[in-house]
């Protein structure tokens, strides 16, 4: 069965959504392993509670990237578990070259804005501060830039006048929990093609 690995640093609501879509039969995939750089990530608990292999792998001495030695351990762990697609779900580290080489074109991410607007941290807050009327979320392939890879799916969320960053983020996350599982389904069923930067989706 098509096997994914999930990398998460935080609360793991996207992991939870993926698991629910596996349970419902919408996703016919296996979650081979969940890895975190944070031993206290709730994502690890969600994985364990659902009988999924959960690993904390030390990130090393840097704050925004993985120590190269540690990054190799992430790659080995994903390989050991037969992972074909790596799904970043709130993973707070930038992936470097050895990781790309190992999983070229097979790493995806969910980002809480309509890219290319508002890459980077706290995108929902950036959207409010900028004054856009609509924001949303994006599932994209990961390339060597920050939130710059080819876009697979997007969903739009209106920004309300009395929105706080927290409220907007929550509404964006409701959409994340729909489009991330859908993107995984499309990839697992080989329904997408990439032409230059454009991701083309076959009928589904
Ligand atoms: C999500 O908003 C995602 O877009 C961003 O990090 C957050 C992770 O949330 N990359 P969760 O841990 O899945 O709840």
pLDDT tens track for 128-139: 999 999 999 999
Tell which one of 11, 64, 110 to mutate to probe ligand 1, the residue whose CB is within 8 A of the most ligand atoms.
110
The predicted pLDDT at position 203 comes to 78
Residue 100 has a CB neighbour count (10 Å cut-off) of 15
Q: Identify the architecture of domain 1-104 in CATH.
A: 3-Layer(aba) Sandwich (3.40)
Looking at residues 29-45, what average pLDDT do you find?
Answer: 98
Is pLDDT above 90 for 127? yes
Domain-wise residue ranges, the chain: 1-104, 109-204
Rounded to the nearest 5°, which phi and psi values hold at 54? -125, 125
pLDDT tens for each residue of 110-122 = 999 999 999 999 9
The percent of residues above 70 in pLDDT, for the chain, comes to 100
Residue 106 CB less than 6 A away from ligand 1: no
> What's the mean pLDDT in 50-70?
95
Residue 38, pLDDT score: 97
User: Contact at 8 Å (CB) between 46 and 22?
Assistant: no
Specify the CATH number for 109-204; select among 3.40.640.10, 3.40.50.170, 3.40.50.300, 3.40.50.720.
Answer: 3.40.50.170
Give yes or no for residue 71 CB within 6 A of ligand 1: no
Instruction: Tell me, using a 6 A CB cutoff, whether residue 12 lines ligand 1.
Output: yes
- Which residues are annotated as catalytic? 111
Whole-number mean pLDDT of the chain?
Answer: 96
Rounded CA separation 101/92 (Å): 20
- For the chain, percent helix, then strand, then coil, each to nearest 5? 35, 25, 40
State which ligand 1 atom lies nearest to the alpha carbon of 14.
Answer: 13
pLDDT of residue 45 exceeding 90, the answer is yes
Mean pLDDT of 175-187: 98
| Cβ of residue 16 lying under 6 Å from some atom of ligand 1 | no
Whether 1-104 shares its CATH topology with 109-204 is answered yes
Statement: residue 204 has pLDDT above 90 = no
């Amino acid at each position: 069965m098509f096997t994914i690995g999930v990398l998460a640093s935080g609360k793991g609501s996207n992991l939870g959504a993926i698991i629910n879509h596996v349970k419902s039969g919408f996703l016919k995939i296996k979650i081979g392993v969940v890895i975190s750089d944070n031993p206290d990530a709730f994502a690890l608990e969600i994985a364990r509670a659902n009988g999924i292999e959960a690993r904390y792998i030390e990130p090393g001495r840097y704050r925004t990237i993985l120590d190269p030695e540690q990054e190799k351990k992430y790659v080995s762990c994903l390989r050991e578990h037969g992972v074909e697609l790596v799904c970043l779900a709130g993973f707070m580290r930038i992936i470097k070259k050895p990781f790309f080489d190992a999983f070229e074109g097979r790493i995806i991410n969910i980002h809480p804005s309509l890219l290319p607007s508002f890459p980077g941290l706290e995108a929902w807050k950036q959207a409010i501060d900028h004054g856009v009327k609509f924001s949303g979320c994006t599932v994209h392939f990961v390339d060597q830039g920050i939130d710059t890879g080819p876009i697979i799916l997007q969903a739009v969320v209106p920004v309300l006048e009395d929105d706080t960053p927290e409220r907007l983020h929550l509404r964006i996350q409701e959409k994340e929990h729909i489009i991330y599982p859908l993107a995984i389904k499309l990839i697992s069923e080989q329904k997408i093609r990439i032409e230059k930067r454009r991701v083309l989706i076959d009928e589904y």
